[in-house]
Amino acid sequence: MTRTRTLIAALCAVSLACPAVAQAQAPDSSGGAAFGTPSLGAVPAALRGQVTTLKGQRPDAAGKPVTVQRLVPDVGWQTLGTGVADAAGMFSIPWRAQDVGRYQLRSLIDGQESTAQAQTASTSGEQPELTVYRPVKATWYGPGFFNRKTACGQRLRAGTRGVAHRTLPCGSVVEVTYGGKTVQAQVIDRGPFRKGVHYDLTQATARDLGFDGLETIGVLTVSRPAPIAPAARRR
């Protein structure tokens, strides 16, 4: 029983919608999105340039064409793909991720948003999301550098969560995904200086992700620090 509860808790932790234990769904092994019932609920882990699978289940869509769309700022709703739901209302739509960013999702039945989905979205106050990350090579560091000051002026500790990057401003926040896990960390150092490698994770960041070695990770820049006004620099 304890093992079962632990598994359920893990599934809920990585999903954006977990309305009931009976409806909990495991993330797709391809890194695709798993949708809740009857509204969308996406596991946010798609890498640019790779094919991901948008999955869903809507009882009101049984045997009907289902279209999944994303909301692109200043553009509007953009169709990602269309498939036909089976008798249980389940559908699976392959899509090649292209633009890095975080997008709201919706599903349409026969080209129209259902009343059930609209009501669910309005009462929950949340929209399902899909995040597309930029795939980059990364390494990790820590031992031998602990208690030293980083290039951004922070003293590196064994428990310091952060990343090193050659050009992103110090204090920028990036979201990193690897192996089904996602964390946010600040840019606290400069590097790496190895050709073809774009990020250096601190030991704590690597540990939180289960990362060990030279691997491909997914990265999304969440925020950059506000530029310092000239008057403030002179003080």
Q: Within a 13 Å sphere around the CA of 112, how many CA atoms are in the beta-carbon half?
A: 5
pLDDT at 13: 32
Q: What is the pLDDT along the chain (235 residues), one digit of tens a residue?
A: 444 343 333 333 333 333 332 333 333 434 444 444 444 544 556 899 998 888 888 888 999 999 999 999 999 999 999 999 999 898 889 899 989 999 998 889 987 765 555 444 444 555 678 899 999 999 999 999 999 999 999 999 999 999 999 999 999 999 999 998 999 999 999 999 999 999 999 999 999 999 999 999 999 999 999 876 665 555 5
pLDDT at 228: 66
Q: Which whole-number Å values give the CA distances from 200 to 61, 78, 140, in the listed order?
A: 45, 35, 5
pLDDT at 129: 82
Give the integer Cα–Cα distance in Å for 182 and 104: 18
User: What does the pLDDT look like over 174-183, one tens digit per residue?
Assistant: 999 999 899 9
pLDDT at 26: 39
Give the integer Cα–Cα distance in Å for 183 and 163: 11
pLDDT at 113: 62
C-beta atoms surrounding 11 within 10 Å: 17
Using the structure block, give the residue that is written with the tokens 């769904």. Answer: 25
Strand partners, 79: 69
What structural domains does the chain harbor? 12-127 (2.60.40), 134-223 (2.40.40.10)
The helix/strand count (H/E) of the chain reads as: 4, 13
